[in-house]
A and B are shown apart, each in its own frame.
Chain A
Amino acid sequence: MISEHLIIAPILIPFVVGALMLLYDDRQRQAKFWLSLISVAAQLLIAVELVVRAKTGGDISDAEGISFYLLGDWAAPFGIVLVLDRLAAMMLVLTALLAIPSLVYSGAGWARQGPHYYSLFQFLLVGLNGAFLTGDIFNLFVFFEILLAASYGLLLHGSGQLRVRAGLHYIAINLAASLLFLIGVALIYGVTGTLNMAHLANLISAMPGEDRPLLHAGVAILAIAFLVKAGSWPLNFWLPTAYMAAAAPVGAMFAIMTKVGVYAILRLAMLLFGETGGASTGFGAGILIVLGMATILFGLLGILASQSLGRMAAHSVLISSGTVLGITGFALAGGGQAMLSGALYYMVGSVLATGALFLLIEPMNREDGGIAAMLALTADAYGIDGTEIEEVPDVGLAIPGTMTVLGICFALCVLMLAGLPPLPGFIGKIAMIQSLIEQSALPAGFAWSFVALLIVSGFATLIGMARIGIQTFWANDVPLPRVLAFEIAPIIALLVILSLISFKAEAMLRYTTGTAHALHDTAAYAYGVFATPRAADRPDDEGEAPE
């Protein structure tokens, strides 16, 4: 009986832990750290178990691979429903895989720079996990707001003028985007009378022609809100500054926040405008392709123009989102499952790599006095006496050969982001390019220019990052930075995961192929919800024989 409630655990665990930690003040930092770590580790275990469950329908997923959870035991579509399919399970694992290293990293120092860091971190996870699991558009809005509210707090964590200014822009943009989200939701409800994604997917094939323009308008407005989150050009000018201003572990978590927007677009686009969309099939595909290409171009130029590694990392987040957005457009236009599978594989790799890069930035630039100045500033702001700060470096073990280790980590991140072998960036890009060239359903010009952009963006990443690497590791005679083992271990862990993904590429690609297949075959999702029995209607276990 417990196992069927496992679906809601990724939302409940961080929620309870986060709320519990609010009750104690920040002097209990050690306890909070371990509690958070246990919570995230539990989420990882549950996410892995959920992946196994999502895979049970055989290699190519069918209805058995999708599990539904009726909240409050209300029958769909009247109540809110949580849906666990391959895509959602994969995103849950990705979130937890990214959360553990950045949590460990922040335990080494960042967490003490402001109040309630660990609670905010857990609430961010509530929002992320909830957004991946929910099957209801308004519920998606609520989880988006939870994750955004937590991200506002995390972005401002550590304070300082740069962060407050970036935070002001970030919050204003996201509040405006949330209002667009609501307008879209209201329009969809006004036309169809439902907010359940599966129900919408059912209704759309038989929808009368005169209602379609209004539904399209609603979904398009909704998509603008998602595109703002996904960092699509031209809605992404706030993103590099905000991501650069964020504290290092927060920046690493933000690497997955753009992917929430991409996830929402992918999910809704495939459900509503996939092959079963009737007259609406393929709606918005061209726009997504063009926006994806423009985003890659913007990120590419941004990387070449950036002078600091932080800004470069933010632009590489943009390239990765643009790639997946463009491929979503191609898949929507009938490009086939192979490229979507490659894009999902690439997304996992690039999220982990950009996360590792964000964690690397701060140790690499430490000798510039970045953290020392930051510590002094926040010590003033929070009235912490200097003695506590002074003893920080003695807490952890400093690693030997700092620059060598940092340099190797940096080089691996660059290899991944530039799409060079043997890391997953290469395999993902190969899979995408191969299927883009092979398919014939799309105008060849689009496909070829996308292939060109993919390759050129990798090249630009290589040039930009190599420039920064030379400046930092070769042309630098300042004293070596002191990097704690606690800070370098998460980065190494992320890189080990990346190489595992590379070694296990076949198994991973088989999983993402199944995911792409399930995304194209919407019937299991759309009708499965209604076949889910309510707990109240279900016969009890055999143990309790009726009188």
Chain B
Amino acid sequence: MEIILSAAIGILSASGIWLLLRPRSFQVIIGLCLLSYAVNLFIFSMGRLTPGAPPIMPKGGFVDPTRYADPLPQALVLTAIVISFATTALFLVVMIASRGMTGTDHVDGKERSQ
């Protein structure tokens, strides 16, 4: 499981960084999305990987914490997802505005040859 997860994070961030460095704004936004998936998986993995362990403990009585997953990274991931979702949506709007104003989807607002 560790190998699959780390490979997933690695592939996602490698593709994300490559796309982020491309000149088309659509590629940039997809790259940012992929990178944020990679980062979210990474935060999740920082709570240690424990298969089948619930993050929420029952109330009262003695609870053995080793049988439960760390809930904090999962909460952090939720917050990070919401924030990156919102900012990506905002970026998309700016991208469309730029496309409409300049007539090109190059991130600099003009093609290199011009």
Are A and B bound to each other? yes
Expressed in whole angstroms, the minimum distance between the Cβ of B71 and any Cβ of chain A is 11
Candidate in A142, A145, A156, A175 with the most chain B CB atoms within 10 angstroms: A175
Q: Is there an interface contact between A148 and B20, defined as CB atoms closer than 8 Å?
A: no
Q: Is there an interface contact between B98 and A164, defined as CB atoms closer than 8 Å?
A: yes
With A138-B79, A179-B39: A165-B109 Cβ-Cβ less than 8 Å: yes
Expressed in whole angstroms, the minimum distance between the Cβ of A263 and any Cβ of chain B is 21
Contacts of B87 in A (CB 8 A): 145, 148-149, 152, 171, 175, 178
Name B32's contact: one of A138, A149, A152, A175 (CB within 8 Å): A175
Q: Does A161 contact B (CB under 8 A)?
A: yes
Would you give the 0/1 interface string for B16-46, flagging 1 where the beta carbon is closer than 8 Å to chain A?
0000100001001000100110011011001
Contacts of B36 in A (CB 8 A): 179
Q: Is there an interface contact between B43 and A142, defined as CB atoms closer than 8 Å?
A: no
Contacts of B15 in A (CB 8 A): none
Identify the closest chain A residue to B29 (Cβ).
Answer: A172
Would you give the 0/1 interface string for B75-106, flagging 1 where the beta carbon is closer than 8 Å to chain A?
01001100110111011001101100110000
Q: Is there an interface contact between A171 and B76, defined as CB atoms closer than 8 Å?
A: no
Interface of B is mostly: helix
Complex Cα distance A413/B24, Å? 41
- A-B interface contact total, Cβ < 8 Å: 86
With A161-B102, A178-B84: A171-B20 Cβ-Cβ less than 8 Å: no
Q: Does B111 contact A (CB under 8 A)?
A: no
Complex Cα distance A161/B94, Å? 11
Complex Cα distance A145/B107, Å? 23
Q: Does B72 contact A (CB under 8 A)?
A: yes
Name A187's contact: one of B46, B91, B101, B108 (CB within 8 Å): B46
Residues in B31-69 with C-beta less than 8 Å from chain A: 32, 35-36, 39-40, 42-43, 46-47
Q: Is there an interface contact between A171 and B43, defined as CB atoms closer than 8 Å?
A: no
Contacts of A167 in B (CB 8 A): 94
Complex Cα distance A328/B86, Å? 34
Q: Is there an interface contact between A186 and B46, defined as CB atoms closer than 8 Å?
A: yes
Which residues in A have some Cβ–Cβ distance to B below 8 Å? 138, 142, 145, 148-149, 152, 156, 159, 161, 164-165, 167-169, 171-172, 175-176, 178-179, 182-183, 185-187, 189-190
A-B interface, 3 closest residue pairs, ranked by CB to CB distance from nearest: A190-B46, A186-B43, A165-B109
Q: List 7 additional contacts besides A164-B98, A189-B47; criterion CB under 8 Å.
A: A142-B83, A149-B87, A156-B97, A161-B102, A168-B94, A175-B32, A185-B76
